[in-house]
């Protein structure tokens, strides 16, 4: 096996720690060609689609990509901003602000961000961190609920990259935080803030990204973790079982997915006489196509057309202080034992030790 070239080594380097926030990804532009490239990478992942490769190659390349890319590009264009994809914009800001929040807690840490599909890619980000001398890396997925299709796919990309690396860093992975008190509190505060401005709805819809039902039956815990998030959030909000409902969105193909489905559910609510609903997406850390277009546009229209009167989409945590404080607390718990709490005097001692180490290395080299 050919390994990637290692950066030049020097004795006595200061120890450095990084957190990598990983989100799903986005096309580079709202164009058919860019969306096609993105979908091809995303949908070819065996964690995402478990159909035998030969059969899936035909379906993907002859049916899905030719017909879905243009339609998806139009949807992306409807939410695209002057700064680019909302998912990319929010994730970049989250990484920058999270570094600040961790710094306020006394941690000397760099926070980078990567995309599982698209750019900046996981291999590119990990390679850059290695060049910059980061020897301890904490992986923070932007997926509060674990699934093999998301969190485990991150793991695949990371381990595949490091199979080509000779000198590995120390690695830690956060599996999930669907029931973390700080995350639930951040969601609660976001909803209460919306209610203070707009009033409470007749029904709160908690919409999560869907998965094929077969994945649940094969042991994926995502479904259960979504319901736990919803239950804990409802308890914090003081809601009864009649006040909220859990649904699943974003289906692909004809197979049965996790139910109830979001759009038919809100249509049924409207036909039952429910006039006002709020929709929140507790499985998304940042607003993206699935929230801004599918929920805030398509599902809104479905509810209003079916007889509903008021539809309020409650945005994701994005760059909210509560959300970032939650991410900082979650990260901090997984950083325990790593020397990240560096005071000025400690850093000075580390620099002096590095100088001594380099001096000894030169002496040993001279002796030989």
Q: Which residue positions form the known binding site for Fe(2+)?
A: 209, 290
Nearest to 109 by CA among 338, 352, 345: 338
List Cβ neighbours of 168 (8 Å cut-off, separation of 6 or more).
Answer: 162
Nearest to 290 by CA among 38, 25, 112, 92: 25
Cα–Cα dist 85/79, whole Å: 8
Binding residues: 209, 290
Nearest to 126 by CA among 169, 80, 75: 169
Cα–Cα dist 23/151, whole Å: 9
List Cβ neighbours of 290 (8 Å cut-off, separation of 6 or more).
Answer: 209, 249, 250, 281, 284
The position carrying tokens 């080594």 is 9
Q: Output the six-digit token pair for 263.
A: 């759009």
- The secondary element (H helix, E strand) that includes residue 278 is strand 276-280
Cα–Cα dist 175/198, whole Å: 35
Cα–Cα dist 213/215, whole Å: 5
Q: Output the six-digit token pair for 280.
A: 């929140």
Q: Output the six-digit token pair for 64.
A: 């899905």
SS3 content of the chain, % helix, strand, coil (to 5): 50, 15, 35
Size of the chain in residues: 368
């Amino acid at each position: 096996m050919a390994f990637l070239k290692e950066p030049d080594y020097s004795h006595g380097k200061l120890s450095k720690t990084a957190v990598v926030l990983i989100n799903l990804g986005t096309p580079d532009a709202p164009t058919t060609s860019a969306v096609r490239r993105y979908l091809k990478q995303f949908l070819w992942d065996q964690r995402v689609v478990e159909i035998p490769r030969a059969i899936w190659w035909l379906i993907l390349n002859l049916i899905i990509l030719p017909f879905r890319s243009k339609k998806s590009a139009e949807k992306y264009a409807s939410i695209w901003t002057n700064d680019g994809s909302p998912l990319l914009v929010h994730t970049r800001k989250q990484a920058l602000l999270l570094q600040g929040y961790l710094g306020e807690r006394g941690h000397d840490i760099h926070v980078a961000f990567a995309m599982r599909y698209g750019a900046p890619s996981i291999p590119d980000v990990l390679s850059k961190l290695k060049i910059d001398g980061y020897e301890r890396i904490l992986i923070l997925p932007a997926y509060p609920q674990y699934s093999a299709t998301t969190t485990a796919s991150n793991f695949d990309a990371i381990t595949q990259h490091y199979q080509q690396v000779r000198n590995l860093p120390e690695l830690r992975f956060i599996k999930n935080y669907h029931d973390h008190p700080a995350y639930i509190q951040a969601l609660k505060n976001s909803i209460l803030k919306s209610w203070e401005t707009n009033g409470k709805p007749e029904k709160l819809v908690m919409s999560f990204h869907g998965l094929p039902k077969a994945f649940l039956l094969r042991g994926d815990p995502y479904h259960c973790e979504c319901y736990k998030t919803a239950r804990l959030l409802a308890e914090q909000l003081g809601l009864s079982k009649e006040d909220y409902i859990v649904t699943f969105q974003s289906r692909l193909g004809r197979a049965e997915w996790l139910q109830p489905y979001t759009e038919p559910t809100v249509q049924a609510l409207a036909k039952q006489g429910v006039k006002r609903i709020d929709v929140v997406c507790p499985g998304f850390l940042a607003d993206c196509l699935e929230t801004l277009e599918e929920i805030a546009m398509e599902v809104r229209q479905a509810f209003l057309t079916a007889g509903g009167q008021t539809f309020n989409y409650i945005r994701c945590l994005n760059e909210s202080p509560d959300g970032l404080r939650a991410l900082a607390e979650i990260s901090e718990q997984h950083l325990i034992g790593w020397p990240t709490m560096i005071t000025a005097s400690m850093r000075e001692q580390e620099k002096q030790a590095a100088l001594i180490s380099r001096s000894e290395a030169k002496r040993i080299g001279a002796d030989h």
